[in-house]
Amino acid sequence: MSNGVKQSTILVVDDSETNIEMVLAILDNYDVIPATCGKDALDIAANEHIDLILLDILMPEMSGFEVCKKLKENEKTKFIPVIFLTAQKDEDSIEAAYLIGGVDYVTKPFKPVELLARVKVHLKLQNLIQRLQFLATRDSLTGIYNRRKFFELAEQMFATYDENLYAIMLDIDFFKRVNDNYGHDAGDIVLQKTTEIISGLLPLTSVFGRLGGEEFGVILTAPSYEKVIHLLDKIVSTYANTDIKIGPKQKVRCTISCGMSPKYKYTSSIDELLKEADAALYEAKKTGRNKRIV
Ligand code: GH3
Ligand code: MG
Ligand code: MG
Ligand code: MG
């Protein structure tokens, strides 16, 4: 497409090359990836960015039902909408298709305009769902996880990892002064830049959220306690030494305090782990700020 809008990618799965050719001709405005068997389809869905799947039912090695079931069992592919496109017209097949997670059912021979219209509807719905999911889970000012999503992911991380899980709480020092001296908009910029600076230092797999005002939480896994200490020192010193531009000619520097707790010491619950990190943060504030306490 020449208008700069990202084209949707549709995976078309059918054992018949002729059928695929026909669908390709109808979907000529989209990026279409063909697959002639279930195994290839699952591989592609797991490794490429796919927005929608058109799935045949009758295929020699793996039926469309089995493919759909496997797609729904995989975290990476479970949210891709699946439209069945099949010669099967019996009610049992239709019922089964929806039961295992299909969003629509089109029978062959189909009317091209109808297939195209259904594809458009489901791509639009998918887009809306993704936007809603983003809005529901992100902090609107900084784009990092909001409080609710942070605690949800923290809980999952706690259930998944043992010894090497760590919780960190961070709070900007004397942030109120930024608002008082430079205005609330400048304060907002500082909050945004703060998350950028910290994100840039965290391992990619960390869960990073804004818990409220100028307070942030991190849950991460690390190979050792020492590595986490090193990371905290890096965050504290980098933050204190970074100019934050709040206007054409104005810049400020802030400091941050943080507290950390390791799961191997506080294994009863995620709440206890976070409470311990919070207590350490409180200690950092009480003993001078611009530091980490573990
Ligand atoms: P301390 O070192 O003890 O943490 O002091 P502090 O000034 O950082 O902490 P305090 O809790 O006294 O003040 C936090 C301020 O953060 C007060 C509040 O107005 C401001 N704040 C909270 N949310 C936002 C926001 O979204 N934008 C802006 N600009 N300010 C915010
Ligand atoms: Mg077939
Ligand atoms: Mg503060
Ligand atoms: Mg605070």
pLDDT, tens only, 137-162? 999 999 999 999 999 999 999 999 98
Atom 14 (ligand 1): residue with closest C-alpha?
176
Any atom of ligand 1 within 6 Å of the Cβ of 187 = yes
Instruction: Tell me what pLDDT residue 149 has.
Output: 98
How does DSSP classify residue 239?
A: H
Atom 29 (ligand 1): residue with closest C-alpha?
187
- Rounded to the nearest angstrom, the gap between the alpha carbon of residue 282 and the centroid of all alpha carbons in its chain is 30
- What digits encode the pLDDT tens for the residues 182-205? 999 999 999 999 999 999 999 999
What is the arithmetic mean of pLDDT over 226-252? 97
Q: Sort residue 122 into left (φ over 0), alpha (ψ -120 to 50) or beta.
A: alpha
- Rounded to the nearest angstrom, the gap between the alpha carbon of residue 209 and the centroid of all alpha carbons in its chain is 12
Residues 58-67, buried b or exposed e (16+ Cβ, 10 A)? ebeebbbbeb
Any atom of ligand 1 within 6 Å of the Cβ of 139 = no
Tokens 């943080």 correspond to 258
Any atom of ligand 1 within 6 Å of the Cβ of 56 = no
Are 221 and 154 within 8 A, CB to CB?
no
**In 29-174, which ranges are continuous DSSP H helix?**
38-47, 64-73, 91-99, 112-137, 147-160
Instruction: Tell me what pLDDT residue 199 has.
Output: 98
How does DSSP classify residue 62?
A: S
- Rounded to the nearest angstrom, the gap between the alpha carbon of residue 133 and the centroid of all alpha carbons in its chain is 9
Using the mean position of ligand 2's atoms as its centre, give its distance from the Cα of residue 8 in Å.
24
**What does the alpha-carbon distance between residue 238 and residue 234 come to, in Å, rounded to a whole number?**
6
**What does the alpha-carbon distance between residue 275 and residue 87 come to, in Å, rounded to a whole number?**
58
Tell me: ipTM over 0.90: yes
**Closest by alpha carbon to 61, among 110, 12, 109, 13?**
13
Ligand 1 nearest atom to the CA of residue 177, by list position:
7
**What does the alpha-carbon distance between residue 233 and residue 239 come to, in Å, rounded to a whole number?**
10
Q: Quickly state the pLDDT bin for 163 (edges 50, 70, 90).
A: confident
Task: Look at residue 80 and give its three-state secondary structure.
Answer: coil
Any atom of ligand 1 within 6 Å of the Cβ of 284 = no
Using the mean position of ligand 2's atoms as its centre, give its distance from the Cα of residue 63 in Å.
9
Q: Quickly state the pLDDT bin for 5 (edges 50, 70, 90).
A: low
Backbone φ and ψ for 166, nearest 5 degrees, come out as -135, 145
